[in-house]
Amino acid sequence: MELSQMSELMGLSVLLGLLALMATAAVARGWLRAGEERSGRPACQKANGFPPDKSSGSKKQKQYQRIRKEKPQQHNFTHRLLAAALKSHSGNISCMDFSSNGKYLATCADDRTIRIWSTKDFLQREHRSMRANVELDHATLVRFSPDCRAFIVWLANGDTLRVFKMTKREDGGYTFTATPEDFPKKHKAPVIDIGIANTGKFIMTASSDTTVLIWSLKGQVLSTINTNQMNNTHAAVSPCGRFVASCGFTPDVKVWEVCFGKKGEFQEVVRAFELKGHSAAVHSFAFSNDSRRMASVSKDGTWKLWDTDVEYKKKQDPYLLKTGRFEEAAGAAPCRLALSPNAQVLALASGSSIHLYNTRRGEKEECFERVHGECIANLSFDITGRFLASCGDRAVRLFHNTPGHRAMVEEMQGHLKRACNESTRQRLQQQLTQAQETLKSLGALKK
């Protein structure tokens, strides 16, 4: 009995030993498998059996982040008559304005900044600018005050007018300070143009419906004009500060006089005259520097130059001086216009291209194609007429006004033939030689 009990105990011990060995082997096998998984294939390995490369994944992620942070590539444009490209904005430029003293160019963009450029740097390698920030908004339109000590902007989100004062610092720079209160909201449609009279007596704002408002400098509405043009496409204050004009769906340009009393008090706005002659809607118009000439461009595919130095109070109508063809204006693309200060050169823009015409002969003299990466938003000659500025993407491009120099040569040659005394001939010859030398240096002197 004792032997049988001993044999049973021995068998039980052997069985327990075998079970212990099997358990140990199973645990060891699990450890090995886990070790292989940790060393050979991470937990995120996909079913195809190819382990992802951690280093390549992180590199791709970094590259993607870097690409997202990089700015979109700037549109490249070169031309022999390109004088300069101003490239400090990080957003598309919607408007620009030259100061009346000729020293500055103001630009506004959707990057929430207004830049003030020094015109004396235009032909230098570096173009300096001063920045004014627009808090929690951005400006779509900008205009200098007549004394060049302030500028006004139209706010895209605020739908109102804001005034920035310019205070000169000891180092020669400026500090820009927004006035405490913006103008009240009065327009019911998007504002397309603003302006300040050079007399400093009023501000004009025009919206895309048929409304033009005349404001005091303190933000009070002096008068509301209904243009009756179905919609407004452009509006402006004349350089002389007397007139406000607008164009739109109708085939004419309407001009009003803003009247003030002898003591400077506002009196009324009266219809002055109209530019009639187009057969379709008018895209845009512009004044010469002395307000005695106006130019217009229409969807009928023509541009026109007008003599507006008339006695409109005696019912005298403006005289049509020249009509030229511009087929691009008949298309769907927006069309912009600028008239040189002396009215001798007309600049027309359709899409991203610019065309320059001699207004006396009506001939196209220059064409710049694909100037900007977007449709051209604004065209403007500087007050000297030497440069034409355009904007449409993140840069302002400045062109030498060679048609203006050629017009000067033609004018001086005509005056020389009629000059009577020697001193006049010498002065005219000097101006003629200067214009010819400028054209020669630009490679634009016609033989």
Tell me the per-residue pLDDT of 404-432, one tens digit each, with 9 for 90 and over. 999 999 988 888 888 888 888 888 899 88
- Closest alpha carbon to 348 in 417, 297, 405: 297
Q: What is the pLDDT of residue 34?
A: 47
User: Can you read off the two tokens belonging to residue 442?
Assistant: 């630009």
Burial of 243 (0-12, 13-18, 19+ CB in 10 A): buried
The set of long-range contacts for 314-317, using a CB threshold of 8 Å and a minimum separation of 24, is 316/273, 317/273, 317/274, 317/276
Give the three-state DSSP class for 11. helix
Q: Tokens 């327990």 belong to which residue?
A: 16
Select the more confidently predicted residue: 21 or 125: 125
**Helix and strand tally (H, E) in the chain?**
4, 28
**Cα-Cα-Cα-Cα dihedral sign, residues 419, 438, 102, 98:** positive
- Return d(Cα 389, Cα 223) in angstroms, integer: 33
Are 316 and 371 within 8 A, CB to CB?
Answer: no
Give the three-state DSSP class for 349. strand
- Return d(Cα 105, Cα 194) in angstroms, integer: 16
- Return d(Cα 398, Cα 122) in angstroms, integer: 8
**pLDDT tens track for 297-345:** 999 999 999 999 999 999 999 999 999 999 999 888 889 999 999 999 9
User: Can you read off the two tokens belonging to residue 430?
Assistant: 């000097």
**pLDDT tens track for 69-122:** 455 677 888 999 999 999 999 999 999 999 999 999 999 999 999 999 999 999
Give the three-state DSSP class for 241. coil
Q: Over 90: is that where the pLDDT of 59 sits?
A: no
- Closest alpha carbon to 295 in 244, 334, 346, 367: 346
- Closest alpha carbon to 398 in 90, 121, 205: 121
Q: Over 90: is that where the pLDDT of 176 sits?
A: yes
Are 184 and 219 within 8 A, CB to CB?
Answer: yes
User: What's the whole-model pTM score?
Assistant: 0.82
- Return d(Cα 404, Cα 439) in angstroms, integer: 10
Are 263 and 280 within 8 A, CB to CB?
Answer: no
Burial of 198 (0-12, 13-18, 19+ CB in 10 A): middle
Q: Over 60: is that where the pLDDT of 357 sits?
A: yes
Are 211 and 187 within 8 A, CB to CB?
Answer: yes
- Closest alpha carbon to 177 in 212, 225, 206, 135: 135
User: Can you read off the two tokens belonging to residue 29?
Assistant: 């096998």
φ and ψ of 208, to 5 deg: -75, -5
- Return d(Cα 62, Cα 68) in angstroms, integer: 10
Q: What is the pLDDT of residue 68?
A: 46
Q: Over 90: is that where the pLDDT of 352 sits?
A: yes
Q: Tokens 């404001």 belong to which residue?
A: 215
- Closest alpha carbon to 294 in 274, 280, 314: 274
Q: What is the pLDDT of residue 389?
A: 98
Average pLDDT over residues 277-281: 96
Q: What is the pLDDT of residue 248?
A: 95
Range 82-403 classified under CATH 3.40.50.720: no
- Return d(Cα 164, Cα 133) in angstroms, integer: 10
Residue 354, amino acid: I
- Return d(Cα 335, Cα 346) in angstroms, integer: 13
